Amino acid sequence: MSAQDGPPAEPEPGGESMTVEIGGTSRRLPAEHDYTGDGLPDAAVETPDGTVIVFADTEDNETGAAGPDGRADQAYVIDKRTGQVVSTAHLDPASGSWVDADGRPVDAPTGTRRSMTVQTPAGDRQVPAEHDYTGDGRPDAAVEMPDGRVVVYSDSEDNETGAAEPDGRADEAWVVDKSTGRAVGEAHVERGTGEWVDDPSGSPDVPSGPPDDASAAGGGSR
């Protein structure tokens, strides 16, 4: 089953179903299992890239009142290989739009990769942000360098104001030895100059972002 194509058939008569907004189109999906543990049946679809999206119906989409109304209002994008939730979204009753955990508008959940802007000497680059390596509940970006090290990028604040909310741009970086999983250097974006600078305990080599031949990393840790 793919998120783009929708379910292969309409739910069986009498079976539980849920209306889900996917890519601007409303579809009725079977709601047969309680994946979220709230006692209510959820819907799920698998996307072509191997992720699974679980949709839950917890409230009235128009009023926000607690209780299901037959329409999805929560979505969880799950990496099928690890079983880990890599992103979430919910429907804002006031606007009728999908928003992320920080209240920022997002596209209807389709399993499409999220990305993060990383500032480099060669210009800004978009790097996939799919896993929470740093344990702050937000997806981080990671690239593997030609020398075998991994650079993990985190977005924890607004790079211009310093406000404690992500703005889609990397502001912290850790250089990780892939063989040991240990951080061997770190850096952050200095507010005011917008430049990467080393933390006192970090490596003198400021992470400069993925070179052209770098690949998205499959691992890394803070």
Alpha-carbon gap, residue 172 to 170, rounded angstroms? 6
pLDDT at residue 204, rounded to an integer: 36
Burial class of 99 by CB neighbour count within 10 A (0 to 12, 13 to 18, 19+): middle
**Are 109 and 75 spatial neighbours (Cβ–Cβ below 8 Å)?**
yes
Model-level pTM?
0.48
DSSP symbol at 34: -
> So where are the chain's domains?
17-99, 115-216
pLDDT of residue 199: 61
Tokens of 198: 């080393």
Q: What angle do CA 179, 183, 184 make, to 5 degrees?
A: 90
Q: What three-state secondary structure class fits 68? A: coil
Q: What is the pLDDT of residues 91-127, one digit of tens each?
A: 888 877 888 777 777 666 654 556 788 887 778 888 8
Residue where the block lists tokens 């406000």: 163
Mean pLDDT, the chain, integer: 76
**So what's the pLDDT on residue 14?**
42
Pairing between strand 25-33 and 17-22? antiparallel
Answer for the pair 115, 129: CB distance below 8 angstroms, yes or no: yes
- Whether residue 127 contacts residue 115, with contact meaning beta carbons closer than 8 Å, is answered with yes
Please answer whether residues 127 and 141 qualify as being in contact, where contact means their C-beta atoms are separated by less than 8 angstroms.
yes
**Residue 42 burial (10 A CB sphere; 0-12, 13-18, 19+):** buried
What pLDDT, on the 0 to 100 scale, is given for residue 6? Answer: 38
Low-confidence ranges of the chain (pLDDT < 50): 1-14, 111, 200-216, 218-222
Q: What is the pLDDT of residue 113?
A: 54
Per-residue model confidence as pLDDT tens digits over 8-33: 334 444 458 899 876 567 888 899 99
| Burial (CB count within 10 angstroms: exposed 0-12, middle 13-18, buried 19+), residue 170 | buried
